[in-house]
Amino acid sequence: MSQPKSSEIEVLPPFPETGLRIYPNDRTTLDRPLKLSLVVPTYNERRNLRQLVQRLTQLLDRLVPNDYELIVVDDDSGDRTWELADHLAQLYPQLRSIRRRHERGLSTAVIRGWQAARGEILGVIDADLQHPPEVLANLWEEIDRGADLAVASRHVEGGGVSDWSLARRFLSRGAQLIGLILLPGVVGRVSDPMSGFFMVRRDAIAGKPLDPVGYKILIEVLGRGDIRWIGEVGYVFQERNEGESKVTWKQYLEYLQHLLRLRVDLLPLARFLRFGVVGFSGVFVDLAVFYLLRDGLALGLTRSAVLSAEVAIFNNFLWNDLWTFADLSRRQRGWRKRFKRFLKFNLVCLAGLLLNVSIVNLLFNLLGVNEYVAKLIAIALVTFWNFWINLKLNWRVTDVR
């Protein structure tokens, strides 16, 4: 994409169905990559923009002199914020303005800005000065120390909100709780997953299909990015001086839609299917060994059942370690670790067995469900449970969501 001089406004190609990708800085085409690209999404922020740009350039001229750009992404605001942005771009060489005519939405605006950006570090800040620009210095410090993601949080030391009503606090925390239930491994990684004020290393999200809806761009970055080291800095969310928040019920519905979309996309379906195939093979091993012990060696019923189940567990463990979770076991080499995983696998399967029997009894005795239907439901639930517990507690690598 050619670098627009501040006199013209960039107009973007249509939004692809498969989500947007940000690419690694291409040093062959890019005349000079920058350290930081800070995106400012705007919708009817004409009365805030001038002051914001002034304060941001003052701060960033000190923090990353000649090595940053500000990118205003405006969705064709009725108050012609894009026009002011274009005008300011004439005065501030670091400023670029993008006008989206056929697209709307905070988080996609941010991603569009990052797509056009030249920075190694990609940041976002609101235009209404509710995110104090001074906090950028603390975020930058975290990035400098090596963080992949630096988040300004209202819920750590030094953080807070100005005078929010109880209802608004309840709504914000309620939304966070729903996120924790649906996506604990994503939403639970930061104290303020709703924050719209952060910086991320381009490499951590380059090439990933980003496909958010609504406002919560941070959750998309956490869910799809390769984020290992997270730094958090406290900030107080200020009251808005000019204009009003664009948040309506629509944003809350979009948030739920976003959570569910991520939940489905991040479900390790392929891995679960492999786990299922291995589980299935275990049934055959169990039956074959049971037959050999009973008919071949005339062993007692319980002894045969326990032994054949254990052989099946061993079979399942082996295939899961070598196939289902191969990429994870490779990172935890050595027979000692493998044996530990085997013991844990046994424990999880044993607990699964107890769960299986309890579910069958509950469905059959309490809810009067047909015993075979009850058995099938129990097998399905326990298979998922076995998979999830083994994924989280046994072959656990923190970045598995």
Residues that bind Mn ion in the complex, under the rule CB under 5 A: 126, 128, 130
Among 64, 85, 149, 194, binds ligand GDD (CB under 6 A): 194
Cα distance between residue 345 and residue 393, in whole Å: 10
**CA dist., res. 282 & res. 294, Å (int):** 18
In the set 10, 69, 74, 254, which binds ligand GDD (CB under 6 A)? 74
Spatial contact of 192 and 219, defined as CB atoms under 8 Å apart: no
Residue with tokens 């015993």: 371
Please choose, out of 84-92, 190-198, 331-339, 356-364, the segment that lies near ligand GDD by the rule CB under 6 A.
Answer: 190-198
Helix (H) or strand (E) holding 23: none
Cα 96 versus chain centre, distance: 28
Q: How far is the CB of 128 from Mn ion (least distance, A)?
A: 4
Is there binding between residue 386 and ligand GDD (CB under 6 A)? no
Q: Is residue 73 a contact point for ligand GDD (CB under 6 A)?
A: yes
387/395 Cα distance (integer angstroms): 10
Q: Work out the number of other CB atoms within 10 angstroms of the CB of residue 42.
A: 28
Q: Which stretch binds ligand GDD (CB under 6 A): 125-133, 226-234, 313-321, 328-336?
A: 125-133
148 binds ligand GDD (CB under 6 A): no
The rounded distance, in Å, linking the Cα atoms of 311 and 309 is 5
Q: Assign residue 72 a region (left: φ > 0; alpha: ψ between -120 and 50; beta: otherwise).
A: beta
| Nearest distance from C-beta of residue 60 to ligand GDD, angstroms | 18
Asked whether position 41 contacts ligand GDD by CB under 6 A, the answer is yes
Could you tell me where the DSSP H helices lie in 188-300?
Answer: 202-205, 217-224, 249-266, 269-291
Among 126, 142, 148, 211, binds ligand GDD (CB under 6 A): 126
Select from ligand GDD, Mn ion, none the partner in contact with residue 10, using the beta carbon and a kind-dependent cut-off of 5 to 8 Å. Answer: none
Applying CB under 6 A, the site for ligand GDD has a residue count of: 23
114 binds ligand GDD (CB under 6 A): no
**205 binds ligand GDD, rule: CB under 6 A:** no
Q: Which of Mn ion, ligand GDD, none does residue 343 bind (CB under 5 to 8 Å by kind)?
A: none
* Cα 128 to chain centroid, rounded: 26
Q: Least distance from C-beta 90 to ligand GDD, angstroms?
A: 21
HSE of 309 in the Cβ direction (CA atoms, 13 Å)?
Answer: 13
Q: How many CB atoms lie within 10 A of CB 222?
A: 25
Residues 48 and 311: their CA atoms lie apart, in Å, by 69
Least gap, CB of 215 to ligand GDD (angstroms): 4
224 and 209 Cβ atoms separated by less than 8 Å: yes
- Residue 190 sits at φ, ψ, to 5 deg, of -130, 160
CA 149, CA 108: separation in Å to the nearest integer? 19
3-state secondary structure of 295: helix
Instruction: Enumerate residues 213-232 that contact ligand GDD by CB under 6 A.
Output: 215
Of the pair 128, 142, the CB lying nearest ligand GDD is at 128
179 binds ligand GDD (CB under 6 A): no
Would you say 124 or 278 has its CB closer to ligand GDD? 124
136 binds ligand GDD (CB under 6 A): no
Q: How far is the CB of 325 from ligand GDD (least distance, A)?
A: 35
By CB under 6 A, tell whether 105 contacts ligand GDD. Answer: yes
Work out how close the CB of 75 gets to ligand GDD at its nearest, in angstroms, rounded to a whole number.
Answer: 4
Q: Which residues bind ligand GDD (CB under 6 A)?
A: 41-43, 45, 73-75, 104-106, 109, 126-128, 130, 194-196, 215, 237, 245-247
